[in-house]
């Protein structure tokens, strides 16, 4: 199945967004590893948010690709 230019551009943007979400999640995870216990709880909440954001982005890409 071949994509037209607009679909290809949208796909590339979605991949870029997914990578940005992944990178943000990795950064948050690294911060959790070095955080103290009290700060760790705050970081865990941040990691949960980052994970949920990445998951939603992946679901959107998956949904868009099925169209």
What residues make up the domain containing 42?
5-66
Task: Determine the angle formed by the axes of helices 37-66 and 5-34, rounding to 10 degrees.
Answer: 160
pLDDT along the chain (67 residues), means of 10: 81 92 89 73 86 89 83
pLDDT of residue 37: 66
| Domain tally, the chain | 1
Res 15: pLDDT = 92
pTM of this prediction? 0.55
pLDDT of residue 65: 82
First to last CA, the chain: 12
């Amino acid at each position: 199945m071949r994509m037209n230019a607009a679909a290809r551009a949208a796909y590339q943007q979605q991949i870029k967004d997914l990578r940005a979400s992944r990178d943000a999640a990795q950064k948050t995870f690294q911060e959790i590893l070095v955080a103290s216990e009290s700060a760790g709880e705050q970081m865990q909440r941040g990691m949960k948010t980052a994970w949920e954001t990445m998951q939603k982005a992946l679901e959107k890409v998956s949904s868009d690709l099925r169209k």
